[in-house]
Amino acid sequence: MNKRAIILLPFVLALSACGWSHYSILEEKLEGKTQEQKRLTLAEECRIEIKKGLIKDDPKNVKQHKLMQQICEEMTGQSVSVEY
């Protein structure tokens, strides 16, 4: 696993606000995949977590989630599409 993926895993875990069970599930999803597949998986997990926490009528929340989207895109090199 490369450094970028190792750095991103804790970030995704923090986004999820879940316990170790979510981390284990994510590890299972990433196991045996190519780097490109891992990036796609992590980008999708980011999108899901952003969508879960998004409150569209709260400008501060939207701003925070757009920043999270930008970070996910930079770290995975993949587009993370979320409707605001």
Give the model confidence (pLDDT) of 44-56 as tens digits: 999 999 999 999 9
Number of folded domains in the chain? Answer: 1
- How do residues 50-83 score in pLDDT, each as one tens digit? 999 999 999 999 999 999 999 999 989 999 999 9
- How do residues 14-46 score in pLDDT, each as one tens digit? 665 555 566 688 889 999 999 999 999 999 999
Q: How many Å apart are CA 60 and CA 77, to the nearest integer?
A: 25
Q: How many Å apart are CA 64 and CA 43, to the nearest integer?
A: 17
Q: 67 to each of 8, 37, 54, 60, 82, how far by Cα in Å? A: 15, 23, 12, 11, 12
46 in a domain, yes or no? yes
71 in a domain, yes or no? yes
Q: How many Å apart are CA 84 and CA 63, to the nearest integer?
A: 10
User: What tokens were used for 84?
Assistant: 């605001």
33: containing domain: 3-76
28 in a domain, yes or no? yes
